[in-house]
Amino acid sequence: MANQYERISTDLRRQITSGELAPGDKLPAETALADHYGVSLPTLRQGVGVLQAEGLIEKQHGRGTFVRRRPKSVTRTNDRHQWEKDRAREPEDVRRKTGATEHDTGLVINDLIFGAEYDQVPAPAELADLFGIEEGAILLERTYRTRYREERTPIHLVRSYLPLSLISGNPDLLRADSEPWPGGTQNQLYTLGIELDRIVETFRARPPTPDESEELGLPVGVSVVVLRKTSYDTDDRVVEVSEVILPGDRTELVYTTKLNRW
C-alpha cells in the first residue's frame, strides 16, 4: 500500500534531515528494516527507493545502503575565462598556487586529486570541420578527472581536443605527466604564441549514460549538463574544443552579461 512505503520514506527522511542518521552512516539490512516497519521486502524497497531518487541515500554494490554525503557544490561563472587569461602570463610560482577547479569550488590545491589521460585520435568530421583540418587528421585527446579528496566521485568529466599540428612545437604539451599544467590550457597555448580572443559555450541537458551515472555517483533521475566549449584565437581559428559533463545535482551555472548604457 502507498501509505506503507510513504511511512517508511518519511521516517527515514526525518532521521537523515535531523542528523540521527549522519552522512556516511550505513542503513540496516533490508530484512531488518522490513521487520522493523512490519512490511514486505518489496514495500520496504519502494520506500527506500524514494529516498534514493531524492539523493538522500545511495546503494554501494556489495557494501549496502548508506546515507549519501552531499557532494561538493560547484559554481561556474563566465568570468573564469578572463581570470584564466589574466593568469596565463603570470610567473610559474603564481600559476601553481591555484587552478580553475579551485576557482570554481573554493577549495585549495591540496584538497584535490587530479588525473589526466592523453591519447592521439583521428578527427571525426564534426571536429575536423570546426578546426579547419582534414577529417582523420590527428588530434590530441585529453581526458581529465578531478575529485575532492574527501569524495569518491569526480567533480566533473572533461574531454579536450587540440590539433596535433597546432601544438607539436612544444613537446611538453604532448605529455600527460606534465599535468596538472600551471595556468591550464590558456598558458599551454601561450607557450606557442597563441592568445585567445573568445570562448563560445553551449549547454544542453540530457540523461546520463550508465557509465556517467556510476562514475559521477548520480542519484536516479538526475540529469547531466553537457557543456561544449570552443576556444578561438585572435586569428579567428578554433584552437581547442572541450566537452565537460557536469552533474546536475551539484553544479550551478552563473552567467552575468554587462549591458552597455544608453
pLDDT digits (tens, 9 = 90+) for 149-174: 888 889 999 999 999 999 999 999 99
pTM (predicted TM-score):
0.81
Q: Which residues contact 151 (CB under 8 A, 6 or more apart)?
A: 69, 71, 72
Asked if 146 contacts 165 with a C-beta cutoff of 8 angstroms, the reply is no
What is the pLDDT, as a whole number, of residue 228? 97
- Mean per-residue pLDDT over the chain, rounded: 92
Distance (Å) of CA 41 to CA 15, 31, 32, 82: 20, 7, 10, 55
Confidence of residue 52 (pLDDT cuts 50, 70, 90): confident
Confidence of residue 134 (pLDDT cuts 50, 70, 90): very high
What is the pLDDT, as a whole number, of residue 2? 53
Mean pLDDT of 81-93: 94
